[in-house]
Amino acid sequence: MRKKNFETTFYNLIEESKISSHGIWKLEDFKEWGKKSLNLIDEVYGVSNQHYTLFLRTHHEALVLGANDSRFDTYVSLCITILRSAYNESQKVTQV
């Protein structure tokens, strides 16, 4: 994936995630957001990377809990953090 496309996709995913801070995230929307995020991480690192594995597990746990669970927002935050970490790591690699 070209760097510009990666950055655009990353920023679009972050923009989409901002609705979760208001507690309005629908489970189906979160599921789709997770798929797009996993595709992005896969494009850059592959499925055997720790970012991919951590995101997949955390996202799955959030889906199992459901949006009505008080812990759901914490899992969403963790997913966003993992996605940001993957992005930041990719920036370090391209600068070297």
Residues 6+ apart with CB under 8 A from 21: none
Asked whether 87 and 77 are in contact (CB, 8 A), the reply is: no
pLDDT at 10: 92
Residue 40: burial class (beta carbons within 10 Å; 0-12, 13-18, 19+): buried
pLDDT at 20: 60
Region 75-94: what's the mean pLDDT? 87
pLDDT tens sequence across 15-53: 988 866 556 788 898 999 999 999 999 988 888 899 999
pLDDT at 73: 86
pLDDT at 94: 58
pLDDT at 31: 94
